[in-house]
Chains A and B, each alone.
Chain A
């Protein structure tokens, strides 16, 4: 970092060049950010304070939407279900891709390329299509999973009409769908760890497990942080997959927060109320992200 005197001694032209030119490069991003984020967000905040129904005039109602929201048991159920979902998806989206990445990067791996392509395929499918595929596989009446299970004599399992099993199906589909992306991150990071560390550890007699635990995992920390952060935010916002897979069913027991927002906003036409719920969700996402940054910084210092 330069001292303040040094900064002052820089000639004006250079200062302009150093400040304005970089600023110029950000203009496009800034405009996009304002048009597609700040403006909708301001509009959403305004709607959340009105009884807007998606058409006609919006009447200002103050905090009434928020008060109603905090007394709405369906909203709490959606929040709780979303947290449960995230609590299941995030650890799995961390462990499974990490495990597969370690296997694929490992020295003894054969057919690594082919395996990578195979694991990467789900990433190319839209979540809606993924949802429909899993819906068919886990269809209660004519799904292939129930067909196989009944052929094995296990019998008919209520994948669609028992709320915990329905959620489990969504969790599995989500982990499968997000596998490729997280795996790419982990594999790139694993390849960047210098081989010499492992060689040194091997000479010292460290087991494979010990090497993973003491070399790979600590050096993967920045990547791990990103995977956990992105997975948590992704899980909290999950919509397309659930909508296509079981529509938040059975009934409304598996409505996640975005589902709830969609239902109130677009099916019940309570746009103001849904906007209030959206803001609560945004605050929750902010809090989650801030907590994770804090934890990450603390472990980095400690």
Chain B
């Protein structure tokens, strides 16, 4: 009995500690490093996006006889996979990455020639200090708002349809509450749980987000406090559900249920809504201003060609072909993307108005949006990155009543300073 107890104990404790003791990363991804044969293009996306690239790859093979394999990787795994592949010398030829990683930023092929020849939007081509173009913007995404038009029509509440009738946040919230009351909507608004959307929200209140001073200390202006307080004010479980920000409820699913009047998200939802929302009519609408008109926009992802794979030229050729305006326009139409190439007006098969509204929002956004973006690029290139999303996490603590607004502002500044200084 005694011995068996002890064996049991060591077994149980052993099992308990197993897998906890070491906390190392996952397994290395396998990329092709053969210099001949098809090249691999790693990306992650939904059926629309991946389908668009697959169609383009088929067209490329038809026209040039060269084969591109589109490899789908789960979004959350992509950065780790490529990071590990870089360390294991197994990088694919081309990838569409959420951002440039310090681990492999020195192993990229210069893409300047593609960018200039095809008029790729210059503000989103990431260049290092020597002027080498490390990545091209895959496409542009922008924060925007959607309405459940069926609910608004049922309640008889009007919403702005032209640029000169854009509403303020106060006007939007009171209109949303009317919709809740008369159309029986459960909530007025859901807002994605991400600092990317939070940024746009704050810009609209005149915030400068957090930017470094000469010494590298990150700070913000008073409008940030106003915006945070306003945000907490509407996250009252009546107008906006607390569960989205506090416990990760899915805002997309809430909106699709048809019981939420408005959804603060972004252009990437259009393709999804167009195919998957059948039970009500939805519409894209201008973002509210208080008093600043702003969206947060940028490159959806960074297209990179890796160096040292033996397929640099083949990878470069594929991107060069893809960014040729005629081909790129097709991609935008297939995947319902906003173009990252100047002078293109894709002929979308549906939702033309929604997509052109985003172009207006981008044009009307203040300079601060670009400044924050440029600062992000600068940090990435100097090898500094912030892991996780401290701005979001601190905001959640504030919404949950764990800390004051001043503490929240100070903590976000501190987190960004320690990550980037």
Contact = CB atoms under 8 A, between A and B. Distances in A.
Q: Do A and B come from one complex?
A: yes
Interface residues of B, number: 44
A269 interface: yes
Interface residues of A, number: 59
12 contacts: A40-B18, A41-B17, A55-B83, A55-B103, A225-B5, A229-B8, A229-B9, A250-B242, A251-B397, A252-B393, A266-B23, A271-B23
A90 interface: no
Contacts of A116: none
Interface in A209-242: 222, 225-226, 229-230, 233, 236-237
Contact of B17 (A222, A226, A252, A282): A282
Given A233-B12, A286-B13, A253 B402 contact: yes
A33 B18 CA distance: 10
B248 A249 contact: yes
A101 interface: no
A178 B15 CA distance: 17
A36 interface: yes
A141 B243 contact: yes
B18 A278 contact: no
A75 interface: no
A139 to B, nearest CB: 7
A44 B241 contact: no
A54 to B, nearest CB: 5
A251 B87 CA distance: 35
B70 interface: no
A55 B105 CA distance: 14
A274 B246 contact: no
Nearest to B383: A56
Which 8 residue pairs of A and B lie closest in terms of their CB atoms, listed nearest first?
A249-B247, A40-B22, A250-B246, A44-B22, A44-B21, A251-B400, A41-B21, A161-B242
A108 interface: no
Interface string B237-269: 100011100111100001001010000000000
A246 B247 contact: yes
A268 B385 CA distance: 10
Interface of A is mostly: helix
A281 interface: yes
B22 A140 contact: no
Nearest to A274: B23
Contacts of A222: 1
Given A233-B15, A290-B9, 6 more contacts: A43-B22, A56-B103, A158-B237, A161-B237, A251-B396, A282-B16
A237 B20 contact: yes
A289 B22 contact: no
A277 B63 CA distance: 56
Contacts of A270: 387
Contacts of B84: 55
Nearest to A279: B21
Contacts of B400: 161, 163, 250-251, 253
Contact of B20 (A247, A258, A263): A258
B247 to A, nearest CB: 3
Nearest to B386: A268
Interface in B383-403: 387-388, 393, 396-397, 399-400, 402
